[in-house]
A and B are shown apart, each in its own frame.
Chain A
Amino acid sequence: MTDNPLVQDFATDWDHSDPQWVADPYPIWEDLRQRCPVAHTDRYGGGWFPATHAGVSEIAKDTTNFTSRNVVIGNGRPTELDLPAPIGVAPPITSDPPFHAIARRLILPAFAPGPINALEPMIRELCSKLLDTMAGEDVVNAGTQYAQYIPPSVIRGMLGFPEEDIEQFLEFVHIILEGIDHPEEERIIEFEPVEKYFVAQIEEHMDSPRDDLTSYLLNAELDGQNLALEHVFGTMVLILVAGIDTTWSAIGSAIWHLAHNPEDLARLVNEPDLMPVAIEEFLRFYAPVTMARLVKHDMEYQGCPMKEDDWILLGFPAANRDPVAFKDADKFIIDRAENRHVAFGLGIHRCAGSNLARLEMRVALEEFIKRYPRFELADSKAVTWAPGQIRGPRNLPIRILQ
C-alpha cells in the first residue's frame, strides 16, 4: 500500500494501490465504463486508465503512439534509467518494434507448447509433494503453503538451478518482487546477492552446458553472436518477475473462487474434462495482470489530452469484464464456451509464458481438488489481496471438509 490519500473519485484520481481498488476493483471499473471510459490521475506523475475492452485492445496494439519501455508504473514520470531496448532492462517486454520481434523470437521456442507440455510430470510431482507437507491439517493456507511455491519451483527447475538451492532461490524471488518499485540505489544493494548467485550459475552453465533454459539462453544467437551476458541475465530476471506472482495469483484466485462456490467445485471434481474450459473462465474473471505503457508524444485520444511520458495502465482484467465484449460479463460461468478473454494481453506483447501459466494452473488445481474434493474459506475476512499491477490472494486460509 502507498501512503497516498484515499481516492474520492476514480475517474479523475485513480490509484491502483488504493485500498478500495485493491479489495474489489470490479465495481470501480464498471462505474468508469459507464461515465468515463478513459480515467485520469495526477498520481505517479500523471496517467490514464482505459476501462473498456475496446480501449485496452486499441492501445495494446498501437505501438506507434504508445511505448513499452517501462511496463511497471513507478513513483513518478519515467527517467533516463527507463531506456528503450536493444538490451534495455528486460527484453522483450520492455522493447518496441523492430527490436522487439528479434528479442521475442529468441525466447518463444523455449515457451512453445512442445517443451512446456513436457514439464507436466515434474509440476504434478511438485504439487503432490507440497500437498503432502500439508497433510493432516484441518486448515491449510492455499496461498502461502501452496500457490506461492509452485511457479518459483517450476522456474528453478527450468533454469536448471540445483534443487537444494530452493530456499535461497525463494529468498531471491522475494527480493526481486518486493524490491520492484524501490529506488534504484536501494535495488542495486538488494540485488547484489541475487546477481552474484545468477552469475555463478551462468558461469557454471558455461562450463557444463545442459538441457535447461540457462544453457538455452547462453546458446542463443543474435546476428550470429551469442547474447551479451547482461542480456542473458536480464532475460532470466524477466522470467522470474513475469512468471512468479502472476501465476501464483491465478492459482490462488481460482482456489479462492472454488472455496466459496461449492457448485463449481463439485462440477470440476465430477467432470475433470471441464478443467481446460474452466481455466479460461478463471483467467477471464480473475485476470491477475495489468501492464503499463507510456505515451510516446503529445496527442489526443478519445478526447483526452495525453502528454508524452504519461502512464497508461492497461487493465486487461477490466477489459475482461466489459459487457460490450462478453455476454453476462459479471457472471462467472464455469463452462463458458465462447471466451475471447485477454488475460495474457493482446498484440505483440502477448505473455510469452502463457502456455506455462495454463499448465501450472491446470495441474495445481487438478492436484488440489483430487486431494481436497470439498473445502471452504476458513475466514473470508483474513484473505488479503496483493496491491499494484498483479492481483491475487496472498493469505488464503482454507478449511478442508470431509
Chain B
Amino acid sequence: MAVLGQGCDRVLFRRELQVIHHISYWVVRSVRTSKGGAVKVRIDPEICQGQGRCFSIAPQIFDFDELGNGVVLGDGLLTSETIELARLAQANCPEHAVFIEDSP
C-alpha cells in the first residue's frame, strides 16, 4: 500500500509540477503592461472583411472561420514570443480590424 501511495503521490506531484510550470510560463512569458495586466489581441468582427492577412502572417495567433473572416485562436493572450507577430499582422490589416490592448 505504501508503494502504491507513494506512486499516487508521485503522480500528483508531477501534475502539480506541470501546473506550476504552466503558471510560471504565463508569468514569465506573457507580456505585461506597466500596470501588470496582460496584453491581448482581438479582431473586431464588425470591421473584419476577410482580407486574410492576419492568419496568413501569424497562423499561430489567428485562424479563419467558414466565411474566411479572421478569428483569434484561444484566449488571445500574447507572449513575448508572439507579440511582435501580432503587431506585424495588425500592421498589415487593410481594414484596421486587429486590436492589441490591455486585458482587464
Which residues of A line the B interface, CB within 8 A? Answer: 105, 108-109, 111-114, 276, 280, 337-342, 344, 346-348, 350, 354-355, 358
**Out of B56, B68, B94, which one reaches A341, CB within 8 Å?**
B94
CB pair B67–A112 under 8 Å, yes or no, is yes
Contact of A108 with B94 in the complex, beta carbons under 8 Å:
no
Which residues from chain B contact A112 at a C-beta distance below 8 Å? Answer: 50, 64-68
- In the complex, what distance in Å separates the CA atom of A105 from the CA atom of B49? 12
For this complex, 22 residue pairs linking A to B, each with C-beta atoms less than 8 Å apart, are: A108-B66, A108-B67, A109-B66, A111-B68, A112-B50, A112-B66, A113-B52, A113-B55, A114-B64, A114-B66, A276-B56, A280-B92, A338-B88, A342-B94, A344-B51, A346-B49, A346-B94, A346-B95, A348-B49, A350-B49, A354-B50, A355-B68
Instruction: Write the nearest CB–CB distance from A362 to chain B, whole angstroms.
Output: 11
Residues of A within 8 A of B64 (CB): 112-114
Q: Considering the complex, which residues of chain B in the window 59-104 have a beta carbon less than 8 Å from any beta carbon of chain A?
A: 64-68, 88, 91-95
Report whether over half of chain B's contact residues are helix, strand or loop; otherwise say mixed.
loop
Contacts of B66 in A (CB 8 A): 108-109, 112, 114
Q: Which residues of B contact A350 (CB under 8 A)?
A: 49-51, 95
Per DSSP, are chain A's interface residues mostly helix, strand or loop, or mixed?
helix
- A338 and B55 alpha carbons, distance in the complex (Å): 15
Further pairs besides A109-B67, A113-B52: 17, Cβ < 8 Å: A108-B66, A109-B66, A112-B50, A112-B64, A112-B67, A113-B55, A113-B64, A114-B64, A276-B56, A339-B92, A341-B94, A344-B94, A346-B49, A348-B49, A350-B50, A350-B51, A350-B95
Contact (Cβ within 8 A) B92 A347:
no
B52 near A354 with CB under 8 A, answer yes
Q: Give 5 nearest A-B pairs by CB, closest first.
A: A112-B68, A350-B49, A108-B67, A338-B91, A340-B94
Contacts of B16-40 to chain A: CB distance below 8 A: none
Give the CA-CA distance A53 to B39 in the complex, in Å: 31
Are B67 and A340 in contact (CB-based, < 8 A)? no
Contact partners of B50 in chain A: CB under 8 A: 108, 112, 350, 354
A340 partner residues in chain B, CB cutoff 8 A? 91-94
Kindly identify which residue among A111, A337, A341 contacts B88, using a CB–CB cutoff of 8 Å: A337
Query: Residue on B with the closest CB to A344?
Result: B51
| Residue numbers in B under 8 Å from A337 (CB-CB) | 88, 91
Check A113 against B92 for contact (C-beta < 8 Å): no
Shortest Cβ distance from A253 into chain B, in angstroms? 19
Give complex CA distance A108, B56 in Å: 18
**Closest B-chain residue to A113, C-beta based?**
B64
CA distance A120 to B86 in the complex (A): 27
Question: A276 contacts which chain B residues (CB < 8 A)?
Answer: 56
| Complex contact A355–B52 (CB within 8 A) | yes
A280 contact set on B, CB distance < 8 A: 53, 92
Judge whether A347 and B91 touch: CB under 8 Å.
no
CB proximity of B66 to chain A, nearest CB, Å: 5
Q: With the chains together, A125 CA to B41 CA distance in Å?
A: 39
Q: B49 touching A347 by the CB < 8 A rule? A: yes
Bound-state CA distance A348–B95 (Å) is 10
**Chain B residue with the shortest CB-CB distance to A342:** B94
The distance in angstroms between the C-alpha atoms of A260 and B70, with both chains bound, is 36
In the assembled complex, which residues on chain B have CB atoms less than 8 Å from the CB atom of A346?
49, 94-95
By a CB distance below 8 angstroms, the chain B residues around A342 are 94
Instruction: Name B52's contact: one of A105, A338, A339, A358 (CB within 8 Å).
Output: A358
B-chain residues with CB within 8 Å of residue A113 when the two chains form the complex: 52, 55, 64, 68
> What is the CA–CA distance of A111 and B94 in the complex, to the nearest angstrom?
19
Interchain CB contact under 8 A, A338 and B92: yes
Question: Which residue in chain A gives the minimum CB-CB distance to B66?
Answer: A109
| Minimal Cβ-Cβ distance residue in A for B64 | A113
User: How many Å from the CB of B102 to the closest CB on chain A?
Assistant: 23
Kindly provide the distance from the CB of A106 to the nearest chain B CB, expressed in whole angstroms: 10
Report the separation of the CA atoms of residues A342 and B92 in the bound assembly, to the nearest whole angstrom. Answer: 10
